[in-house]
Amino acid sequence: MSDSKFEVADGFVNHPDVTKKISDKGHNFNIAYNDASVFDDMQNRKYNAIVIHQTDTETAQNVFNSYTAEKKGAQFLIDKDGTIYQTASLDKVSRHVGEIRARCLSESTCSKEELDEGLKQWNEESWKKDGSGISGKAKSHDHEKVKDFPDRFPKNEDSIGIECVGKAYPQSGSKEPVYEPLTPEQEKSLKWLTGELAKKYNIPASEIYTHPEIAFKNETEAESAKPMIEEMRREEQIRKEQVENNANKPTAPSNESPPGQQPPLQTPAAAPPVSPAVPSNESQASAGESHNTAEWSLKAEAFRKLPPEKAVQQYPELAPAYASVRAIETKVEADGLPEEHRNTVMSRVHENVAGQIKNGNIPGVQMQEKGLAQAGQSTDLSA
């Protein structure tokens, strides 16, 4: 993608990677609204979410044709080759969401009154109509649409829609047609566009959805975009934790204790001398891989914060680092150090490894037994 600045003026993105394509008879139109808590005016309204769709068409031209015939659609369209089209003004509401599910059901926050009224049944049997011919999904939507955000899922009026060209095909054993996955070109463009829109409108990754997550749609629609969304959510959580950790750091160490408090315990002078084990840098990132500071910072934070199995699932390349730490921990335990000293050593080892990861290195294991130290029979481990 181009390095040009992502800008929006008069409702349209001004960027070389976004092509404006508006039909005179298309879906670019205003919808009347009466929710003053959501909008001040159409040019200064609050977007709360981004919704990712698939078109159920084979080509972008099929989509343009439908937009000419019907007044519905999303603000953006991504073709299979990655081309991004803006098909509606961001200053106008576009019909792309449809009837929304009950958010409280997915978050287990529904009131007893709502459940007694039948909200769960409406969502589970969305196609079923009552004696008046009103479907469960219509009842759910009417119930939810009057709620304030974020007590409900996003609606047309407060969300940005991104369509990706893709067809749903019948598949043996499936009740519904199954959507084809996004192309690599679409994935790249979608991640860039979603990220830029989220920054522009201050939309958190937790409010980026695939269409069926919030509405009564084919469950496979945009399913292949879910890993991208989950990655954005993980990265956002790590950044959030970094900010919180920095905010909680003490401003400066002090040897004085506040009145009425005991001074902090000091490490006994007679503690056995132990050199923290520092794994070697033999196993590093693959040759030729550029050191992306932000990416490696995320890996280091994952190593610090996440359980090993989750961190390795997210970043498989961290496995040698955990193997290194485990090997050192086994060696330290074999040396018979007191638990307090073992914990101190391993804490330092873990932090040293995290520091190396942040600098772009995945440490391997290289331990040498230096022999016995003073009377405490301590082993000096070194890289």
The span from the CA of 351 to the CA of 184, in Å, is 36
The pLDDT tens digits for 145-192 are 999 999 999 999 999 999 999 999 999 888 899 999 999 999 999 999
The span from the CA of 115 to the CA of 105, in Å, is 9
Asked if the model's pLDDT at residue 275 lies above 70, the reply is no
Could you tell me which residue, 64 or 259, shows the higher pLDDT?
64
Closest to 272 measured CA to CA, from 368, 382, 381, 373? 373
The span from the CA of 235 to the CA of 339, in Å, is 35
Give the largest CA-CA distance in the chain. Answer: 88
Asked if the model's pLDDT at residue 307 lies above 50, the reply is yes
pLDDT of 131:
84
The span from the CA of 281 to the CA of 312, in Å, is 19
pLDDT of 309:
80
Could you tell me which residue, 345 or 216, shows the higher pLDDT?
216
The band of 256, judged by pLDDT with boundaries at 50, 70 and 90, is low
> Residue 331 belongs to what H/E stretch?
helix 319-334
Q: What's the whole-number mean pLDDT along residues 88-100?
A: 90
The span from the CA of 329 to the CA of 337, in Å, is 11
Closest to 167 measured CA to CA, from 154, 153, 176, 177? 177
Q: What's the whole-number mean pLDDT along residues 298-326?
A: 82
The pLDDT tens digits for 36-89 are 333 334 455 689 999 999 999 999 999 988 887 776 789 999 999 999 999 999
The band of 302, judged by pLDDT with boundaries at 50, 70 and 90, is confident
Is it true that the peptide bond before 273 is cis, omega within 30 degrees of 0? Answer: no
The span from the CA of 194 to the CA of 214, in Å, is 17
CB 362 within 8 A of CB 300: no
pLDDT of 253:
57
The span from the CA of 128 to the CA of 141, in Å, is 14
Q: How many CA atoms lie within 13 A of 6 on its CB side?
A: 14
CB 355 within 8 A of CB 339: no
pLDDT of 292:
62
How many other C-beta atoms can be found within 10 angstroms of the C-beta atom of residue 107? 10
* pTM attached to this predicted model: 0.63
The span from the CA of 305 to the CA of 311, in Å, is 9
The pLDDT tens digits for 324-364 are 888 788 877 777 777 777 777 787 787 888 888 888 888 76
pLDDT of 279:
45
Closest to 63 measured CA to CA, from 209, 166, 139? 166
Asked if the model's pLDDT at residue 280 lies above 90, the reply is no
Delineate the domains of the chain, giving CATH numbers in brackets: 7-100+145-237 (3.40.80.10), 275-371+379-383 (no CATH)
Asked if the model's pLDDT at residue 245 lies above 50, the reply is yes
The span from the CA of 5 to the CA of 18, in Å, is 12
CB 214 within 8 A of CB 153: yes
The one-letter code for the residue type at 354 is A
Could you tell me which residue, 44 or 97, shows the higher pLDDT?
97
Chain-centroid distance of CA 234 in Å reads 5
The span from the CA of 176 to the CA of 210, in Å, is 17
The residues pairing with 179 across neighbouring beta strands, listed in sequence order, are: 168
Determine the length of the chain.
383
